[in-house]
Amino acid sequence: MTRRTHAQTLLARRRRRIRSVGAVGVVALALVSSAVAFSGHGASAPAGAGGGGRLIGASYSSRLFAGIPQHGLVLGSPRAAVRMVEFADLQCPYCDEYALQALPTLVTDYVRTGKVQMEFENLSFIGPGSVSAGRVQNRLWNFVDLLYLNQGRENSGYVTPAYLHRLLDAVPGLKVDQALAASETPAADAALSAANVAAQRDGVGGTPTFLIGPAGGALRQFTPSSLTAAPFAAEIDHVYASAVASR
């Protein structure tokens, strides 16, 4: 086994595994109903933003995404040569690791420059908090980034209505009451169901899972050697060069 293959194997083991991919949709729909009544009960709340502590990263997150087109799940120019899809759960600690270590560089160097368009697919399988947060669709990328910057321990009860309100209130230009109302509509359920269907179609077995490929072409699963920016940048550069050469 090569050193790179060994590193990829170790990373794959660190992903938050979906126990049964085919059952994800059933699990998420069941959690949606329980999430309506979810009010932060369970393990003791963490000391961070979810426990009433300081919300961190609001200004940084705002600057990171400022001026970049957002349309629902999609971030970046529709004319980008490379497309990248992330399957994640908002309570997944490894998804958080990617968001902290890799995403800022990828957004700055590739999305903002128009080379890459990103899509976020929320699987919401870990617990009721995943579903409560996953139902939020307005200004999705700003919200998701803030949540990862202030992520608590999974299923510890930190994803409360007050916590979600604080995150949304920190998103520039967002009408919080409208965003919360939208999160309780059938459209929010449909978004979670669509992510589950996409995960089954693309053979996703855990989070985070990434697909990368040329825009308009076939995407393939990419397993990085680490959740830092470097392996993603190398893969994107390779796909970008091929995509531009074929135009």
Residue-range domain boundaries for the chain: 3-245
pLDDT tens-digit profile of 30-83? 333 333 333 332 333 345 788 788 899 999 999 999 999 999 899 999 999 999
pLDDT tens-digit profile of 122-132? 999 999 999 99
Q: Is 155 exposed, middle or buried (0-12, 13-18, 19+ CB in 10 A)?
A: middle
Cα 7 from Cα 163, distance rounded (Å): 36
| pLDDT score recorded for residue 38 | 32
Domain covering 3-245 assigned CATH 3.40.30.10 in the classification: yes
Inform me whether the pLDDT recorded for 10 exceeds 70. Answer: no
Q: Is 200 exposed, middle or buried (0-12, 13-18, 19+ CB in 10 A)?
A: middle
Q: How far, CA to CA in Å, does 207 sit from each of 125, 204, 214?
A: 10, 8, 22
Inform me whether the pLDDT recorded for 231 exceeds 60. Answer: yes
| H or E element in which residue 15 lies | none
Predicted model pTM: 0.83
Residue-averaged pLDDT of the chain? 85
Which string of DSSP letters, residue by residue, matches 98-121?
A: HHHHTHHHHIIIIITTTSEEEEEE
| pLDDT score recorded for residue 196 | 93
Return the higher-pLDDT residue of 247 and 116. 116
Task: Give the dihedral of Cα atoms 70, 75, 76, 79; nearest 10 deg.
Answer: -100
